[in-house]
Amino acid sequence: MAEHTTGHTSSAEMGCGTSEAVLEPVLETRRLTVTAGAETILRDVNLAVPARSVYGLIGPSGAGKSTLLKCLNRLVDLQPLLRVEGEVRFQGRSLRDGTLHPDDLRVRIGMLFQQPVVFPGSIQHNVVFGVRRQTGVRRRDLPGIAESALREAALWDEVKDRLRKPAATLSVGQQQRLSLARALASRPEVLLMDEPTSALDPRSTRAIEELVRELKERHTIVLVTHDLGQAQRVSDWLGCLCLQDGAGELLETACCAELLESPKCQAVADFLRQSGGRTEA
């Protein structure tokens, strides 16, 4: 089992001394290619995300990190001009084999966006916004679900006395944790985070990072970040997407420390150097 790989990487290849049980990937992509007309956005991406870990996706702007993330929960389907080829597998099942409806998939793979999204309505309304629709969830269960999700997102103490107040009155950092609570309320197995701290101040950023570290005990997390320091602080694994001939390719994936300390691929080393990370290749 290789500890450090470049190019196409399978779960079995991602070692770093971790046991086989942990390495069983929750999410996988196989030769994932995304095109928009004649333009290729992602090319032949092979990704494997082990369970109960934080998988950081780094790379320059425009390399297709967010697009890759949206392929993992089929949010890319909202963009009809994009064509997706290859395979994405969740817990061993292909997302497009017809057995898992996209809406059900998205309940199990939650997502946190770059900017906090607050729906019109109260704080509690926002937390249970997604979970309300789920079968088996009764109206009287909602306050308990909201409390549990807010506690998990470390927001309960700050909002417990104003759950009926408009969510828009929260600070941006609180709104992002509210968005996280909303995603957590559906009890997803995987959380996709698309630069979740890019709009936040350092204090809120630290709070989110702390949460990510705690949440990986119960969830698998895929985190897109531009901040190498953040990637280093919270990620167990790193994948680096770089532009090759105009298309994003996953050039290297490895344990976080290894990829940052000793990248094998020259393009990755160049990216790390330009971003203020390590320079050796």
Partner 1 sequence: MRRWLDRAVVVGTGTCVLVACGVLLLLVLAIASRGLPALSWSFLTEEMSRGGAAGGIAYNLVGTLILIATAAIVCTPLAVGTALTHGFYLRSRAARRRLELVLYALNGIPSILFGIFGLIVFVGFLGWGKSWLSGGILLALVMLPTVTVAMIERIDALPRSHIEAAVALGLSESEVVRRVILPESAGALVTGLLLGLARVAGETAPILFTATVFAGATLPTGVRESPVLSLPYHVFVLAQDSFDPAVSRTVWGTATVLLLLVIGLSAVALPLRLRIHDEARHG
Closest to partner 1 by CB, 186 or 230? 186
- What is d(CA 177, CA 134) in angstroms, rounded to the nearest whole number? 22
Give the nearest distance from C-beta 196 to partner 1 in angstroms.
13
Query: Which of 90, 113, 237, 271 is close enough to bind partner 1 by CB under 8 A?
Result: 113
In angstroms, the CA 84 to CA 98 distance is: 16
Does 129 bind partner 1 (CB under 8 A)? Our answer is yes
The single residue among 166, 189, 226, 264 that binds partner 1, judged by CB under 8 A, is 166
The span from the CA of 268 to the CA of 264, in Å, is 8
Which residue, 113 or 271, has its beta carbon nearer to partner 1? Answer: 113
Indicate whether 104 belongs to the interface with partner 1 (CB under 8 A).
yes
Based on CB atoms, which residue is closest to partner 1, 21 or 78? 78
The nearest distance, CB 79 to partner 1, in angstroms, is: 10
Query: Binders of partner 1 among 179-238, rule CB under 8 A?
Result: 179, 182-183, 186
Is residue 271 close enough to count as binding partner 1 by CB under 8 A?
no
Residue-level length of the chain: 281
- Return residues touching partner 1 (CB under 8 A): 73, 75, 78, 80, 103-107, 110-111, 113, 115, 117, 119-122, 125, 129-130, 133-134, 165-169, 179, 182-183, 186
